[in-house]
């Protein structure tokens, strides 16, 4: 009887722990977002190999992504309560800074970038 009771209590504890983990995962996903888009040149053609940089304005952490064959890029697992700056560079051209605000409540932010301005030195 003691073993049966122990096994039952252990099963309940494991089940409630799994539920708590699922709740944490749901909460984490609710506080995260992603940014994606396409880098274009001055002629509105997708840019292969553009360097897209994302800067967390609060922590100053930088992330980079090299655009794919179709000009696409993406950043995931971004905190919704941080502001970001986004910029694409291709050769000596830049898109300029684009801001992604904490007030933008989209889970997936689509931001296409046009690398058509001379880069400031």
Q: CA-to-CA distance for 119 and 10, rounded, in angstroms?
A: 62
- Give mean pLDDT in consecutive 10-residue pieces for the chain, a chain of 121 residues: 54 54 53 96 95 97 96 97 96 94 95 91 65
Q: Are 57 and 83 in contact (CB under 8 A)?
A: yes
Q: Which CATH superfamily is domain 31-118 in?
A: Carboxypeptidase-like, regulatory domain (2.60.40.1120)
Q: Are 32 and 108 in contact (CB under 8 A)?
A: no
Report helix, strand or coil for 39: strand
Q: What are the start-end ranges of the H helices in 2-101?
A: 2-30
pTM of the model: 0.74
Render 69-89 in DSSP notation, one character per residue: TTSEEEEEEEETTS-EEEEEE
């Amino acid at each position: 009887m003691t073993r049966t009771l122990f096994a039952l209590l252990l099963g309940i504890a494991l089940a409630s722990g799994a539920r708590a983990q699922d709740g944490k995962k749901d909460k984490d996903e609710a506080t995260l977002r992603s940014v994606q888009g396409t880098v274009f040149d001055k002629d509105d053609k997708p840019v292969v190999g553009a360097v897209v940089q994302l800067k967390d304005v609060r922590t100053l952490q930088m992330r980079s992504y090299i655009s794919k064959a179709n000009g696409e890029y993406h950043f995931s697992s971004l905190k919704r309560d941080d502001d970001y700056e986004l910029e694409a560079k291709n050769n000596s051209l830049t898109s300029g800074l684009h801001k992604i605000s904490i007030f933008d409540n989209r889970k997936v932010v689509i931001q296409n970038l046009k690398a058509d301005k001379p880069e400031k030195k």
